[in-house]
Amino acid sequence: MGSNTHLLEVDKDVLELVVKLFNYSSINSFNEDVRKVKEWIKKQPHFPEVMADNKIKNFIILNKGNVERSKEKIENYYNVRSRLPEIFDNIHPKLPYMEKVKESVFFVPLPKLTKEHYRVFFYKIRDVYLAESIEMVHFLRLLWNIQQIRLIEDVTYGDMFVFDGKNTTLQFMLKATPMILYKMMFLLQQLFSNRLKAVYIINAPPFTEKLLAILRSVLKPKLIERIHFCENSDVLVEKIGSEVLPIDYGGKENSLEELQEKLHQKFKEREDYFTQLDKLRINRALKPQTLKNDEMYGLPGNFKNLEID
């Protein structure tokens, strides 16, 4: 099934502007790297598919034009589905529990990019009691599913997150165990090389500092410095822009309620795509050598600091 819901706006010039930042002489030069990676994928007998061009483009963008690193991340993208079944089994957005996740929180990408070409994500609990009853890994699955939409419809140059702490309880925060946080950052970095540019936390409850203490054990100081606690939402207009922000926060965009509905309509329209993703598994018997990053998927308890550029 195709997709008609207009969720993520990408100006026609954004891709060209982004690839120039990685020192490509032209969009044609960038597309030549896309072609090279696609030819490499076709020669990998253990891969479950030939990746679509837009996905390849985004992997190259995420890896700053580094073709070899992009190949590594593409292999990880396929391999991780069988190596982390606790995340990737039963992840389809049509499953009933995902409807509960939708009802419990607002978690949406905003349609417009910032002037720096960053995509902004907004998070806020909408039903306290329902949120407390849901496993944290389910929220991680939602994040993953949103990323799948972005790979085929977005230009994934850089991300910003806004967390509205209103309605957040200590019981809910305790669900964010070090291992869950590590897995989230592991997936974003080791698979997508996501460049997290800023995190803005508004209406933060007093116990948020405890979560930050956990994050300090997982993240590099450079990333910790990008987390900003704000007294109110006024700073968001300055840092992100009123054109980008939802009307709930002084902006001109649709409300979180409307954007949430658009996101889940998008999931319905892309149901066939997610069904196909469920089947993607590397055929390890056809791999002539041990996967380069095979050891990474044990997710050791000894947390290595992750750095998200």
* Burial of 1 from C-beta contacts in 10 A (0-12 / 13-18 / 19+): exposed
pLDDT of the residue at 306 = 41
pTM for the structure as a whole: 0.87
Phi and psi of 264, rounded to 5°? Answer: -75, -25
Which tens digits make up the pLDDT trace of 32-72? 999 999 999 999 999 999 999 999 999 999 999 999 999 99
How buried is residue 164: exposed, middle or buried, by Cβ count under 10 Å (0-12/13-18/19+)?
A: buried
Do the Cβ atoms of 112 and 243 come closer than 8 Å?
Answer: yes
Structural domains in the chain?
A: 14-88+281-293 (no CATH), 96-269 (3.40.525.10)
Determine what percent of the chain is predicted with pLDDT higher than 70.
Answer: 87
User: Tens digit of pLDDT for each residue in 120-134?
Assistant: 999 999 999 999 899
What does the pLDDT look like over 75-122, one tens digit per residue? 989 988 888 888 888 999 999 999 999 999 999 999 999 999 999 999
Number of neighbours of residue 160 by Cβ within 10 angstroms: 22
Q: What is the 3-state secondary structure (H, E, C) of 146-198?
A: HHHHHHHHCCCCCEEEEEECCCCCHHHHCCCCHHHHHHHHHHHHHCCCCCEEE
Output 184 or 194, whichever has higher pLDDT.
184
The answer, yes or no, to whether residue 278 has pLDDT greater than 90, is yes
Is 80 exceeded by the pLDDT of residue 183?
A: no
Q: Average pLDDT in the 20-38 region?
A: 95
